[in-house]
Structure 1
């Protein structure tokens, strides 16, 4: 099939379909907005209107917070946290399991909000509901394991007893992004709460309703109302006020903003975790199952219209299978259906805003201007909705093009041949990011060996990103400029705690008794240490 020219005329508008018209099938009930808004601490007297990517229509007008609201939110959260920190771990676990059920019970309503605010396809909205439920269940089941006091060997066996406690940080500040408005708003906060902290949270100003709905469920199942405080408004102002007050900061967003968050937190010697940008590679080795790799690439590149931090933007394919792989991939991508519907009838949804559309359009236009070939896609689709862009495959991308190293954060992927696996690893590691990577091969042992050579916090074998992201026991985060710290697993909850060591000494002191000379004490201790070494004791 011939490459597509992205400058060609826009396809004709699709005929109206009342059954799948989002304006007809779903609109945010003003009563729901009125019900959710009281959860916001926002008394500035100002307001902001959010808009649906599917249609460009307004969704809701919400009050905006000021710095005084942030101050009040922290005061309320600190008061609630002092009581919550003394709450039994079993009670916390029970509430998390109740939240798991509540999220699944309200899945359709939550998916409606996620789609309306972010513009993603229904199947990708369900990913968010699933992830929140899995996170709640995982930390409910593992809470005691992660947080229980742990005994460790003392300096002298029997005489010294030592224990390690996990003490909550206090009030955690969370600043969450627009691309996953439900799961990235909630799933980082659940382990913080489970560890005995309170949360002050600023969801992205484009997508606050998904977070508000989830926190409404959080309170409905019995968590204290003041334990999770929400504020709304400008990122630098409100986010900065959170960083100035939090005992720990959790941020997900761009690398540029992450640098500023880290610098501001460092001024107060406050720790932070940052999940930032990526230019994630997929390696398709010569022995890969081509059909499976094609399906994996479609999911990895175009889920949530590529607006996913772990989304694949670079495809490196072995020479031996390159032509066959590309032919099958083009045939698979070309008929993908773009949908502005709340039904399960589309393969991909919309970009979230004009800004994202402008970035994606500019990256593709720049690549074409510098000699890249569009194999399929390459055009905005205003006939479907104001911010839709076709899933796009590019060949011939080189370092002079913006999309070569810069994160596009949209449905655009570049394809490259490679000869040797060492070449593929070197090219995958090029650049400054290191968030996620993927390897397709029939030889799992070889895939695991190569994974250790890739500079990425997560590596998926025969999958794009979901295998690691969905495994809640496995830490998830970035290397290099893709961030610091980890969500999920033990690290995902222990980051919200301080380690406290408590040791008590029995019978004899850790110094020479008054009736023993220092020289004699040294000899006896030296002999004891040699015996302990021979006995294999720590």
Structure 2
């Protein structure tokens, strides 16, 4: 039996449960359990029982476990990537399934290697105070369907490093991916330290509402994030929320369009556009507008889309029918307004799978639905501007503020402009290039709290001052 089949057999149920289908082919992949509120409560109880012994280990011992987790992920990398491709839809190649699994290992090793020494706050001869970081207890991790393994690692591994136990609820759209990753991780961890519950949004609500969970980490929509804030207020839970984004990119008039075209493409279309911090609205200076649109269209037209298991493809289907309908509605709004379809925009509705063609929409009103709503799919609106101040105003006028980018051949000019943009991260001449050492978080209604690096470790710990 192949490692893929062994993994699938370990996490699926033969009878009952819920069917999981490949979004590219409609093929039945397997069945996942559908658990109840009682199962959530039991998982929280297991986590609370296991957490004190886990926290009692030395930091070096927990780091050793994390490095062995990374080893286990790498040993199962191809099986995990195949399952991820079948369930989520993303191709094996390009910045997709194999890339995501590799990132899981990297985002495990970096938190394991990140030092977090005791901080001496003051030592002036009269007063001495130290800052320590203690475990919180149980962390609830509620993970999305677009990067279901990588984002799970972002939440789980820092929590474990700091001595917490975890209860994770994967998205109901990508439950297999969540269960498979947890199965591999749990070949290393003591029983009860990582617990996974499979089911719908009601299970996530149960985790949020539990008085026995000290922290919630959530990646998903702003709408759901607001509900989590409300539901968690009774116990004053700590929250890290990475919510919806509608990232703007501003292209200045001093760039070489052909030189930036491929980076623009991947900034917008990584994971077929299903990325929170993807480039979702592009503002281009009038002097080079037509050249940028042409160069971007040339790159986009040669990127193959299809079944993720085909080694040639780098773009896949949308993960679910709900997301297909959102993209289709927003593109239809742009077309009805008279915007120019440069590429795509006309899906084959009789085809198998949730494939939406790579779509570029030019000469669009900056307040069209496709611009102001997050499409979360392979459709990019390109807005022409003549006044840079107006472009900045348009970039800043939405409630979203996860990421943004500035494209210029003059780095200082780009940095000055970046400082005027309201976003948690502003990239220069790239978009969405996250790094496990660099803190990441949103502004405005794109959430709050930081992940990655030292800041990410501190976010899943209780600061404690010891003075005297």
**TM-score range with shorter-chain normalisation?**
over 0.9
Is residue 2:360 matched to residue 1:393?
yes
SS of the counterpart of 1:85?
helix
TM-score normalised by length of structure 1: 0.82
CA contact (8 A) 2:7 2:79 kept: no
Return the match for 2:108 from 136, 139, 151. 136
Q: How many residues matched?
A: 462
CA contact (8 A) 1:249 1:273 kept: yes
Root-mean-square deviation (CA, aligned residues, Å) is: 1.9
Map of 2:248 onto structure 1: 281
Map of 1:8 onto structure 2: none
Map of 2:44 onto structure 1: 74
TM-fit CA distance, 1:28 = 6.5
TM-fit CA distance, 1:396 = 3.0
Map of 1:64 onto structure 2: 34
Alpha-carbon distance in 2 for matches of 1:218, 1:209 = 14
SS of the counterpart of 2:347?
coil
TM-fit CA distance, 1:125 = 1.3
Is residue 2:441 matched to residue 1:474?
no
Return the match for 1:125 from 97, 104, 110. 97
Alignment of 1:409-428 (within 5 A): 409-428=376-395
Q: Cα 1:167–1:341, aligned 2, differ >3 Å: closer, same or farther? A: closer
Alpha-carbon distance in 2 for matches of 1:228, 1:441 = 45
Return the match for 1:151 from 120, 133, 144. 120
Alpha-carbon distance in 2 for matches of 1:151, 1:333 = 53
Map of 1:34 onto structure 2: 9
SS of the counterpart of 1:158?
coil
Alpha-carbon distance in 2 for matches of 1:111, 1:385 = 22
TM-fit CA distance, 1:167 = 0.9
Q: Which has the greater radius of gyration?
A: 1
TM-fit CA distance, 1:27 = 12
Residue deviations 1:244-279 (CA, integer Å, cap 9, x gap): 122000111111111001111122211211111111
Alpha-carbon distance in 1 for matches of 2:428, 2:250 = 9
Is residue 2:75 matched to residue 1:105?
yes
Map of 1:487 onto structure 2: 451
Return the match for 1:233 from 199, 221, 239. 199
Q: Which runs of 5+ in 1 are unaligned?
A: 1-25, 39-44, 505-538
Alignment of 1:286-301 (within 5 A): 286-301=253-268
SS of the counterpart of 1:403?
helix
Alpha-carbon distance in 1 for matches of 2:207, 2:290 = 51
SS of the counterpart of 1:455?
coil
Q: Which runs of 5+ in 2 are unaligned?
A: none
CA contact (8 A) 1:381 1:387 kept: no
Return the match for 2:238 from 271, 281, 290. 271
Residue deviations 1:445-474 (CA, integer Å, cap 9, x gap): 2222211111111111111212xx1x2121
Alpha-carbon distance in 1 for matches of 2:189, 2:61 = 10
CA contact (8 A) 2:73 2:185 kept: no
CA contact (8 A) 2:173 2:320 kept: no
TM-fit CA distance, 1:149 = 2.4
Residue deviations 1:324-359 (CA, integer Å, cap 9, x gap): 111122222223311204143013111011111111
Alpha-carbon distance in 2 for matches of 1:486, 1:56 = 37
Map of 2:464 onto structure 1: 500
TM-score normalised by length of structure 2: 0.94
Map of 1:517 onto structure 2: none
TM-fit CA distance, 1:384 = 6.1
